[in-house]
Amino acid sequence: MSVKVKICGITSPDQADIAQSAGTDALGLVFYPPSPRNVNIGDAKNIRKNIHSNCLCVALLVNANVTLVNKVIKELKPDLLQFHGNESPRFCHQFKYPFIRAVRMEQGLDLNSILRSYRPQGGFLFDSWDDAKFGGTGASFDWTLLPEERDFFLILAGGLLPTNVTKAVSMVRPDMVDVSSGVELSPGIKDPELVAQFIKRAKSA
């Protein structure tokens, strides 16, 4: 079975259509105001209408408060939440809603402790560490830090491009790859050609 692909940072219904036409398996909507890919609830609901039943809708949140998380769940009804900040296991589990736990690969990170502490139905997403940004950095990390033996759904993110995704899939053997800035003309505006190339190369790796 080929790797699944998630296109993150979708900002309009047209962008959702572009990614789905190319064969993506999941779309990520960002609820984080500092991000240039941030969407509000109203915009997200319009995008949600264009997401097909065979494509997952993922709502990405960064250190959001309980009120916002509950609002996203109630009004958007995403297939998965994605906690991409410093959220504790207790915070993530309290909503009793399927989620992805993002792990930013900071130097000295106790990865085994994190893997034991969370029970994300959507798996763990591994992304690059940046002191100032929570994802969307365009930078990769040392893939050899990831465990070769695992019993969880692994999503690889961080610095992936059409030019390196084949190598990433062959080396890491992830269940899913996640890309945002690597297929963009500008933040939040996906390039149809780059999206198509990325998905084709990921799935053929």
Total domain count, the chain = 1
Residue of higher predicted confidence among 65 and 142: 65
Closest to 72 measured CA to CA, from 112, 102, 32, 101: 32
- The answer to which of 26-40, 50-64, 125-139, 172-186 has the lowest mean pLDDT is 125-139
Candidates 53, 41, 5, 3; CA nearest to 190 is 5
State which residues form the domain around 12.
4-204
Q: What is the pLDDT of residue 199?
A: 98
| Cβ neighbours of 17 (radius 10 Å) | 16
Inform me whether the pLDDT recorded for 169 exceeds 90: yes
Q: Evaluate if residue 136 carries a pLDDT over 70.
A: no
Confidence of residue 28 (pLDDT cuts 50, 70, 90): very high
pLDDT of the residue at 138: 60
So what's the pLDDT on residue 1?
A: 74
CATH number at 165 reads: 3.20.20.70
The predicted model scores a pTM of 0.93
| Mean of the per-residue pLDDT values of the chain | 93
Least confident of 93-97, 98-102, 103-107, 191-195: 103-107
Catalytic residues: 8, 127
